[in-house]
Structure 1
Amino acid sequence: MRPERRHLRADAVAGLPGAISSVPDGMACAVLAGVNPIHGLYASFAGPVGGGLTSSTRLMVITTTGAASLAAGSAIEDVNPAERPQALFLLTVIAGAVMVLAGVARLGRYTRFVSHSVMIGFLTGIAVNIVFGQLADLTGAEAGGEFAVAKAIDVVAHPSRIDLASLVTGLAALGILIGLSRTRLSAVSALVALAIPTAGVIIAAADRVARVKDAGDIPRGIPLPQLPDLSQLSASVVTGALAVAAIVLVQGSGVAEAAPNRDGTASNPNQDFIAQGTGNIVSALFRGQPVGGSVGQTAINRAAGGRTRWAAIWSGLWMLAILAAFSGVVGLVAMPTLAAVLIFAAVRALRFAEVTSILRTGLTSQIAVVTTFCATLFLPVAAAVGIGVALSLLLQLNQEAMDLKVVQLSPAPGDRWKEQPPPKRLPNHRVTVLDVYGSLFYAGSRTLQVRLPDPVGAEAPTVVLRLRGRTSLGATFVKVVAEYSAALEAVGGRLYLSGVDREVADLLRRTGHVDVSGPVGIFEATELVGESTEQALRAAETWAVQQRRGTSDPDR
């Protein structure tokens, strides 16, 4: 954690562009959260410092993000505007605590269960929501509606409400952003887009154009820490905090993949969870809003030559200096310019190529991306996140169940096995060796039950079911094995399980549902691949021969 002298200068220089670009980004994200833009600036210094000190992905910048801000704003939109900041601080603390607990509990591996289709659908919906939601501020029009799409339609349907000066200011900011996006000034284009149109508004004395100070008093200087107000605790605050935590953790995992450590050490997702949680707690203590791993700010940090974690920390320290010197200027910024910054960033975040690729992948991916996108547009963000997480899990379980494949193994020359489709019905007095690909948990076991060859109508059929590599199996699988072995026994057959892990074998014996002394034989896995299956095959063939001869149950 100590700064390295040889990298100190490079990190300090790399932190400055990030701090400058965080000024418009932080203010714009506060607008999304529905609070005074100053709180976004507070988060832009507290998040990088608190998170940077503890992250394992050293160049990751933990600061304000559009998705987290929109989720927080959705959760507190019904709170009285005067009390909304305190509710936001409490939400941020709760979200931070959840992230820290997730890291301590080592839940980092579970982020992979959120499917790519669901995440792209959610992020696309967030971007579209931002564009639609900022049209009113961009045009200076009053808009009504329960969600962003309705507000945008209201603006378009009533053009007489549009304030010409506000519209010109917003379009000028958009023009600057577009014009500078492909130049060397792209890193500071958002700041220029705030400054020049705002200066024009001041010179023209266009008082009808809304300013940041209209949203409330702008405190001067450096903020002092304070504890959140627990009286603002509510169900919407808690669910909003959980939604913010889920969004931040999944996005942070993506940032870690895109910004590997320069020395080659692997990032620890659990430690990054703790870092993002720490950043949120520190942000809330300094009256800031939710923060998380930022794709854009991390990219700026890397491009500016950041070498260690102190590049991100310096970004926060530079922001603190900017606040101390220029906090009084914040109130003069024209609101249409902030709307322009948000719209430009949201449009650039749209991933049309990825959406097109997902739509071409198949029905499951199409359902995931469209459902999540629509939920994000027309439901509160917390509900959309819940639907996205639930949909990811359902798709995972469904895919595992559908991907299950049963094949028949037949001995081939050279001590090898040949795969072929299994028979629909078992042959009489013969051994059928089966192997299974796919998960055998829950629905997977039920799918196996449907795809196993039917023993009804056969005489003394014998089945060898290969289970090598299965280190744990659930109660559903035990029930399926018990029912299938009973069906085989009813027609004079037997079931042999080969390649069984020792712990799984002990489980099958303990349950009492599987009669391992009668219709089910268990052959535990050995170091030699295929050895237990060959043993089971010999035992099954002996059984089949003796059944054909009409002998009694043989002693294995």
Structure 2
Amino acid sequence: MRWGEWRRDVPASLVVFLVALPLCVGIAVASGVPVELGLVTGVVGGLVVGVMPGSSLQVSGPAAGLTVLVAEAVERYGLTGLGTIVLVAGLLQIGLGLLRLGRWFRAISVAVVHGMLAGIGLLLIAGQLHILAGAGTAPVGLAAFTGLPALVGELTGSEPARLSLALGTATIAVMMLWNLLPGRLRTVPGALVAVVAASAASAVLGLPVDTIEVAGLLAAIQPSLGHPSQLADLGVLATIVTFTLVASAESLFSAAAVDRMHQGPRTDFDRELVAQGTGNTVCGLLGALPMTAVIVRSSANVHAGARTKASRVLHGLWLLLFVAAVPGLVGLIPLPALAAVLVHAGCKLLPLRTLPGLWRTHRGEAVVLTVTAVAIVTTDMFTGVLVGLGLAVAKVAWETSHVRVTVDDHGTGTGPIDVAIVGNATFLRLPTILNTLHALPTDRIVRLDLHGLRHLDHACGTALDTWIEAHNRTAGGQVHVVAPRPAQDDRPRPVPATE
């Protein structure tokens, strides 16, 4: 590596380390696991995934987008179950990459992905509001929203709850104000500055707020080859599939976004999927959090001037040195400060800027996004994503089955009627076609023009044959097909008169 690249990559790695540190800790706390496991995932994302081929500049680690899913998995199956889920999901990712299916993740509807992130953001914000108000743990799923009214009473009757909320609010304010400062000062991440300031204020003022519990790296890591017996549980299998799809989609969409930020080599999506799977396999073996490529750390890496993958590898090394040398510093961080960081991260997952424009230009996509987010909030991640994908497919089917039926009787009232069917005739548009055909006079000759019919499915073909037979049986009625219809199956058909 040339000196010029080292000169840029080393400072960039320090910036990414400073961005990653509070996020790794905060995501672990929000997921209900020891904070060390979030840092371990960050280390694996740097030292393992960082050296593998795929994307050269994107950074991997624990992601806010998986927080809700991880918290639900830990609540249901415990840390041992989480390790098995992450391990198998990683192996599946490796298999998908080796089968060269990584590129197909780009076929997932962007509206579904954004809706998924919006739903995660809403759940993350609602859950962390409880921590801001002094609660020891954040409720999971819909309970995070239904429990919000009770927070008002807690804040009214508890001074520690009010102090906790004040500290968290001040942390958010510091992060927002930090982004308004000149560029050189913003080299130090606002989240780190806010967390350090909140920790100092809490220690100096002796505020009665909860801080992070640190057990030590060796005590937190529970290496395991997984528990195959848990794979007989359908809930575990569904969670594995959800982890695989969500983590893969988020990583590859992040890679596509990072590619647009720099002029270096483009991402090989299949290799990147293998790299992410390898990282998750290692995390599963160590019992740590799952990982994805994360856009916040990746964009910080690019904007800090990184040129090669050395920056992301070094950021993992700095995380390892920190957790090995000074783990006690993590125990000084107040929980409300970390909750504030995650509320800020959750707000970034919401499409507040893009949704109004999307509603004006692609209303159907906005509906898919909104329904996906609401379904995730009201049910769970797996169900919500399935609802979003189903709605996206239905929307595409409806839009592509556009058909136009025109009728021209030439104003005579007695001569032949010209009917033209243009477009794609599918069962979704069958009512439109039949309503028009059944409204025609039964005693007139009909010239049915099918030149513009590009596709005819079985339902429409059968209905069209039935109508032709019925019209030909009436007194004076006859159908002349001007052009042969598109083939749909091989069963025998009545042969209408043709011109």
Q: Which moved more, 1:61-70 or 1:136-145?
A: 136-145
Tell me the equivalent position of 1:368. 368
Aligned residue identity for 1:463: D
Within a 5 Å distance, the mapping from 1:164-183 to structure 2 comes to 164-183=162-181
Q: How does 1:218-229 map to 2 (within 5 A)?
A: 218-219=216-217, 226-229=224-227
**Alignment-derived partner of residue 278 in structure 2:** 278
Corresponding position of 1:147: 143
Is the contact between residue 36 and residue 220 of structure 2 (CA under 8 Å) also seen in structure 1? no
Alignment of 1:260-271 (within 5 A): 260=259, 262-263=262-263, 267-271=267-271
CA distance in 1, matches of 2:382, 2:446: 57
Cα separation, 1, equivalents of 2:25 and 2:10: 23
1:302 Cα deviation (Å)?
1.0
Task: Please point out which of 13, 22, 26 is paired with 1:15.
Answer: 13
Query: Corresponding residue for 1:109?
Result: 104
In structure 2, the residue corresponding to 1:195 is in which secondary structure?
helix
Q: Are the structure 2 counterparts of residues 171 and 113 from structure 1 closer, same or farther at C-alpha, using a change threshold of 3 Å?
A: closer
1:293 partner SS: strand
CA contact (8 A) 1:125 1:373 kept: yes
1:461 match: 447
Structure 2: distance between partners of 1:313 and 1:60: 11
Shift of 1:443: 3.2
SS in 1 for 2:11: helix
Task: Describe the shift of the 1:78–1:350 C-alpha distance in structure 2 as closer, same or farther (beyond 3 A).
Answer: same
User: Contact 1:39–1:289 (CA<8 Å) still a contact in 2?
Assistant: yes
TM superposition shift of 1:300: 0.6
When residues 383 and 435 of structure 1 are mapped into structure 2, their CA distance, relative to the original with a 3 A threshold, is closer
Aligned match of 1:134: 128
Tell me if structure 2 keeps the 8 A contact 1:59–1:307. Answer: yes
Q: Equivalent residue for 1:377? A: 377
Instruction: Give the Å deviation of 1:498.
Output: 6.2
TM-score, normalised with respect to structure 2: 0.81
Query: Which string of whole-angstrom CA distances, capped at 9 and with x for unpartnered residues, describes residues 332-366 of structure 1?
Result: 32212111111122234433232323444576456
CA contact (8 A) 1:60 1:294 kept: yes
Normalising by structure 1, we get a TM-score of 0.74
Please, which of 80, 90, 94 is the counterpart of residue 84 of structure 2?
90
2: CA distance, partners of 1:372 / 1:397:
18
Of structures 1 and 2, the one with the larger relative CO (CA 8 A, separation 6+) is 2
Match of 1:546 in 2: none
* Match in the other structure for 1:495: 481
**Structure-1 separation of matches of 2:7 and 2:164:** 42
Question: Does the 8 Å contact 1:220/1:328 carry over to 2?
Answer: no
Change (3 A) 1:481 1:177: same
Deviation at 1:227, TM superposition (A): 2.4
Alignment pair present for 1:443 and 2:443: no
Distance across 1 between alignment mates of 2:56 and 2:108: 25
In the alignment, residue 512 of structure 1 is paired with which amino acid? R
Residues 486 and 14 (structure 1), Cα distance of their counterparts in 2 relative to 1, 3 Å cut: farther
Q: Which amino acid aligns with 1:276?
A: Q
**Matched pairs, number:** 482
Q: C-alpha displacement at 1:385, in angstroms?
A: 2.6
Q: Are residues 168 and 42 of structure 1, via their aligned partners in 2, closer, same or farther at CA, if it must alter by over 3 Å?
A: same
Distance of 1:229 and 1:433 partners within structure 2: 63
Structure 1 contact 89–287 (Cα < 8 Å) conserved: yes
Structure 2 CA distance for aligned equivalents of residues 99 and 381 of structure 1:
19
1:35-68 CA-partner distances (Å, limit 9, x unpaired): 1111111111212444444453332222222121
Match of 1:25 among 23, 35, 48: 23
Cα contact 1:466–1:497 (8 A) shared by 2:
no
Q: In the TM superposition, what whole-angstrom CA distance separates every residue of 1:175-196 from its partner, at most 9, and x where no partner exists?
A: 3322322332364222222223
Q: 1:322 to 1:125 in 2, by over 3 A?
A: same
**Structure 2 alignment gaps of length 5 or more:** none
Q: Aligned match of 2:153 in 152, 157, 162?
A: 157
- 1:98/1:32 Cα in 2 relative to 1: closer, same or farther (>3 Å)? farther
Cα distance in 2 for residues equivalent to 1:266 and 1:452: 52
| In 2: Cα distance, 1:186 partner to 1:165 partner | 30
- Superposed, which structure 2 residues align to 1:206-285 within 5 Å? 206=207, 208-213=208-213, 217-219=215-217, 226-230=224-228, 232-233=230-231, 234-260=233-259, 262-263=262-263, 267-285=267-285
| 2:250 partner amino acid | Q
In structure 2, do the counterparts of structure 1 residues 395 and 466 end up closer, same or farther at CA, with 3 Å as the change threshold?
closer
The corresponding residue for 2:400 is 400
- Give the residue type in structure 2 aligned to 1:435: V
Q: What residue number does 1:353 align with?
A: 353
Identity of aligned residues (%): 21
RMSD of aligned Cα (Å)? 3.8
In the aligned structure 2, how far is the partner of 1:332 from the partner of 1:450?
Answer: 72
What secondary structure, in the 3-state scheme, does the structure 2 residue paired with 1:465 have?
Answer: coil
Instruction: Tell me the alpha carbon deviations over residues 489-542 of structure 1, each in whole angstroms, 9 at most, x when there is no partner.
Output: 665434365696xxxx6x75xx22446xx449xxxxxxxxxxxxxxxxxxx5xx
What amino acid sits opposite 1:11 in the alignment? Answer: D
SS of aligned partner of 2:445: coil
Using the TM superposition, name which of 13-22 and 357-366 deviates more. 357-366
Name the CA distance, whole Å, in 2 between partners of 1:311 and 1:243: 30
Instruction: Report the CA distance shift for 1:443/1:231 in structure 2 as closer, same or farther (over 3 A).
Output: same
Q: Does 1:66 align with 2:64?
A: yes
More helix by share: 2
Structure 1, unmatched stretches of 5+, are 408-420, 521-539, 544-556
Does structure 1 retain, via aligned residues, the 8 Å contact 2:447–2:479?
A: yes
Partner of 1:340: 340
The Cα shift of 1:144 comes to 8.5
In structure 2, the residue corresponding to 1:25 is in which secondary structure? helix
Q: Which moved more, 1:181-190 or 1:32-41?
A: 181-190
Is the Cα–Cα contact under 8 Å of residues 368 and 391 in structure 1 kept in the other structure?
A: yes
Superimposed CA distance per residue, residues 207-238 of structure 1 (whole angstroms, 9 cap, x where no aligned partner): x422221xx61226996954234455544333
Q: Are residues 370 and 434 of structure 1, via their aligned partners in 2, closer, same or farther at CA, if it must alter by over 3 Å?
A: closer
**What secondary structure sits across from 2:259 in the alignment?**
coil
Corresponding residue for residue 550 of structure 1: none
2:38 equivalent among 28, 37, 40: 40
What is the aligned partner in structure 2 of residue 533 from structure 1?
A: none
Is the CA contact (8 Å cut-off) linking 2:46 and 2:315 kept in structure 1?
Answer: yes
Inter-partner Cα distance in structure 2 for 1:342 and 1:275: 26
- The separation in 2 between residues aligned to 1:390 and 1:4, in whole angstroms, is 50
Q: 1:512 aligns with which of 482, 491, 497?
A: 491
TM superposition shift of 1:277: 2.6
